[in-house]
């Protein structure tokens, strides 16, 4: 990776903003007052917006000339650097008092994600990855599993309604190949579990960059394999992806591309 100026400062800002937002969300868990429907089956709360403000304020204070890519209120600047934030990944879980949710803060240089931070406030788990420097959980190095496909747990995209025919076809062949399939409703939870070897793979068809930026880098830096659904390299413009340990990646790719 090209040496990035102030990478340690950038990492510290990402960690600080993610943990502050996460602690705010935890303090207000079960206290949602306003829920708005911003699209079909897409919800946002006042707490999403407040958590986003916490993150954006820290970033803009330290790096005012850089882009911020977010679901709610993006900031466009003329810069090669883009901060990619998801202040509340798992909004529907959060609204229904299901405590599977987290915060993601990533940084991209041009199209390549070079820094990723995930904070899971309920468990007080902090995941950090810098391109080429490994993946860490609460300061300790983590690695993907080495389980084969017959023993694999797979996370599958829950938004089946968007590509029903293809996804149900893929789900059928995948369910025959793996040990079991889960849906957590939180991409950061799923990808962080893959990075630390608790789960073997995730296949998503409709995720946005703020959902996956930190998590996919984390999986790669933990020794996993990530690509788009056709096996091409991923970047901030990707839409669907496979993320897994290296042992089962090729088999998964073949199953969904017969």
* Count of domains forming the chain: 2
| 117 and 214 share one domain | no
The domain that holds 93 is classified in CATH as: 3.30.540.10
User: pLDDT tens for residues 13-35?
Assistant: 999 999 999 999 999 998 876 66
**90-99, 131-140, 194-203 — which is least confidently predicted?**
90-99
pLDDT at position 40, please? 46
Q: Which are the contacts of 211, defined by CB distance < 8 A and separation ≥ 6?
A: 86, 89, 104, 187, 188, 204
| 109 and 44 share one domain | yes
Residue 27 is part of which domain span? 7-141
| 234 and 170 share one domain | yes
The domain that holds 160 is classified in CATH as: 3.40.190.80
| 133 and 154 share one domain | no
Distance, in Å, from the CA atom of 210 to the CA atom of 90, rounded to the nearest integer, reads 12
| 26 and 126 share one domain | yes
User: pLDDT tens for residues 140-174?
Assistant: 999 999 999 999 999 998 788 878 889 999 999 99
Does the pLDDT of residue 45 top 80, yes or no? Answer: no
Q: Is residue 119 part of a domain?
A: yes
CB atoms within 10 A of CB 1: 11
Polymer length in residues for the chain: 258
Indicate the pairing of strand 125-130 with strand 112-120.
Answer: antiparallel
| 41 and 135 share one domain | yes
**Residue at a domain's end among 78, 111, 141:** 141
Q: What is the mean pLDDT of residues 86-112?
A: 95
Helix ranges (DSSP H) in 89-160: 91-95
Distance, in Å, from the CA atom of 18 to the CA atom of 156, rounded to the nearest integer, reads 26
Q: What is the mean pLDDT of residues 118-129?
A: 98
Q: Is residue 209 part of a domain?
A: yes
| 198 and 106 share one domain | no
Q: How confident is the model at residue 37 (pLDDT cuts 50, 70, 90)?
A: low
Helix ranges (DSSP H) in 96-235: 164-177, 187-195, 209-221
Distance, in Å, from the CA atom of 69 to the CA atom of 66, rounded to the nearest integer, reads 10
pLDDT at position 159, please? 80
């Amino acid at each position: 990776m090209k040496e990035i100026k102030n990478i340690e400062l950038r990492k510290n800002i990402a960690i600080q903003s993610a943990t502050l937002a996460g602690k705010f969300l935890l303090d207000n868990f079960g206290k949602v007052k306003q829920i708005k429907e911003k699209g079909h089956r897409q919800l946002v709360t006042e707490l999403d917006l407040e958590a986003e403000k916490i993150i954006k304020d820290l970033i803009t204070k330290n790096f005012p000339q850089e882009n911020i890519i977010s679901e709610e209120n993006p900031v466009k600047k003329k810069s090669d650097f883009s901060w990619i934030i998801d202040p509340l990944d798992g909004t529907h879980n959060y609204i229904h008092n299901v405590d599977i949710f987290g915060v993601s803060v990533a940084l991209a240089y041009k199209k390549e994600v070079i820094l990723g931070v995930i904070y899971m406030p309920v468990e007080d788990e902090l995941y950090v990855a810098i391109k080429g420097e490994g993946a860490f959980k609460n300061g300790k190095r983590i690695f993907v599993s080495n389980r084969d496909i017959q023993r694999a747990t797979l996370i599958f995209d829950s938004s089946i309604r968007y590509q029903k025919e293809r996804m149900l076809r893929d789900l059928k062949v995948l369910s025959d190949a793996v040990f079991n399939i889960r849906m957590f409703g939180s991409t950061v939870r799923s990808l962080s579990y893959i990075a630390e070897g608790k789960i073997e793979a995730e296949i998503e068809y409709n995720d946005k960059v703020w959902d996956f930026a930190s998590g996919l880098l984390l999986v790669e830096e933990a020794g996993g394999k990530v690509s788009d659904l056709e096996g091409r390299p991923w970047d901030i413009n990707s839409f669907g992806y496979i993320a897994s340990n290296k042992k089962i990646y090729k088999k998964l790719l073949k199953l969904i591309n017969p």
